[in-house]
Amino acid sequence: MTNEADAAALVEVLTRASARIQRALDRSAAEHGVSPTQARMLSALRDGAPTMNELAGQLGLDKSSASGLIDRAQVRGLVRRVPSQRDRRSVRVRLTGPGRELAAEIDSLVASELATMLEPLATGQRSALASALGQLSAPDQSACARPGS
Amino acid sequence: MTNEADAAALVEVLTRASARIQRALDRSAAEHGVSPTQARMLSALRDGAPTMNELAGQLGLDKSSASGLIDRAQVRGLVRRVPSQRDRRSVRVRLTGPGRELAAEIDSLVASELATMLEPLATGQRSALASALGQLSAPDQSACARPGS
DNA sequence: GTAAAATAATACGTAACACAAACTAATGTC
DNA sequence: GACATTAGTTTGTGTTACGTATTATTTTAC
């Protein structure tokens, strides 16, 4: 009977929690002087050196957007464009030393912010949360086509 | 046990879920031809006719950002600026008929997208999820009231 | 082997959004 | 009435995002 109300409440709490997490991410990025998108990009680059195309796909951006994004990061010395020998049209984006360091710092700050947020939860609730969220179905399984190349 | 690993996994799953929810919100907004911020604003206006200042606070925006936001929405006929008689400096922002309709549609689409996302969860898991997320503490209930500059 | 199509990345133009600072107008206070 | 305060807008800068066009390099077709 309360199904309706429960569903609405769940939507409410989900969007609210999502917004809170998003704010934590934004804050962590801002704390280190980069934009949210920059932070997302840095984090994505931590494991791999994708091409512009792959990076854009990974971040859900247009190629032109990614281009500008990398431009700005490069000016700051956070990333490097490494021309690919296999395909001379192609460029691989890599974190520089400072870039890698910054990425690690931001990720760690995010983790600590979220940890603070999770403090009021009991251990059982945490695992229930993890289990529930982990089960949320993947909408775009094909999207993350392993670059392989 | 494996507290460390569990914590890391939880951070991971939280950020991922948050991103998914955010994408659902963005998609729902885009589907109806408005930006995510516009959608958030429309939804916020569904219950009340706040002043610009209040609205800005509610959305976590600067006054100037809210001003432009409302400008654009007004051009589209989604909201109206109603001058306050009590305080002639003040303006109340109200949804128009079409604006209210659009807000309802977007909210309903969001609900349905999230419902789809939650489908794989058992009833018990849903309530556990709601309970856990609901407990995440609200950091900004009264914390940062007015930037005020 | 060369011409045509496809691909990777960039350049350019446009627009939404966000912020800060300066400005206007109306309230309040003394 | 002078003066600070408040509400909102305006102006300027920067980031991000998109679409389109362009350039350079494959890849394919003939």
Phi and psi torsions of B90, nearest 5°: -90, 150
Instruction: Give the tokens for residue B72.
Output: 């654009």
* Structure confidence by residue, pLDDT tens digits, B41-66: 999 999 999 999 999 999 999 999 99
pLDDT for A147 beyond 50: no
pLDDT for B71 beyond 80: yes
The whole-number Å distance from A63's CA to D21's C1' is 14
Cβ contact A18–B18 (<8 Å): yes
Q: Which residues make up the interface with nucleic strand C when CB must lie under 7 A?
A: A 51-54, 63-64, 66-68, 70-71, 81, 84, 87, 89-92; B 34-38, 60-65, 68-69, 72, 86-89, 147, 149
Cβ contact B121–A130 (<8 Å): no
Q: Classify residue A34 as left (phi > 0), alpha (psi -120 to 50) or beta.
A: beta
Query: Any idea which nucleotide's C1' is nearest the CA of A84?
Result: C8
CA–CA gap between residue B140 and residue B149 (Å, rounded): 17
pLDDT recorded at residue B137? 62
pLDDT recorded at residue B139? 59
Lowest model confidence (mean pLDDT) among A29-33, A142-146, B9-13: A142-146
Cβ contact B17–A114 (<8 Å): no
* Structure confidence by residue, pLDDT tens digits, A53-70: 999 999 999 999 999 999
In angstroms, the first-to-last Cα distance of chain B is 46
Query: Any idea which nucleotide's C1' is nearest the CA of B84?
Result: D7
- CB contacts < 8 Å between A and B, how many? 120
| A34 or B138, higher pLDDT | A34
* Structure confidence by residue, pLDDT tens digits, B76-89: 999 999 999 899 99
- Please tell me the pTM assigned to this model: 0.85
pLDDT recorded at residue B70? 97
According to DSSP, residue A145 is labeled -
B78 and B99 Cβ atoms separated by less than 8 Å = yes
Confidence band (pLDDT; 50, 70, 90) for A136?
Answer: confident
Phi and psi torsions of A91, nearest 5°: -130, 140
CA–CA gap between residue A43 and residue A40 (Å, rounded): 5
SS3 category, A66: helix
Nearest chain B CA: its distance from A87 CA (Å): 33
Nearest chain A CA: its distance from B73 CA (Å): 22
Q: b vs e for B80-112, b when ≥16 Cβ sit within 10 Å of the residue's Cβ?
A: beeeeeeeeeebbbebeeebbebbeebbebbbe
Query: Any idea which nucleotide's C1' is nearest the CA of A51?
Result: C8
CA angle B11, A123, B123 (to 5 degrees): 85
* Structure confidence by residue, pLDDT tens digits, B104-147: 999 999 999 999 999 888 998 899 999 999 888 665 444 333 33
Q: Which residues contact B54 (CB under 8 A, 6 or more apart)?
A: none
Confidence band (pLDDT; 50, 70, 90) for A142?
Answer: very low
* Nearest CB neighbour to B120, from listed A7, A14, A137: A137
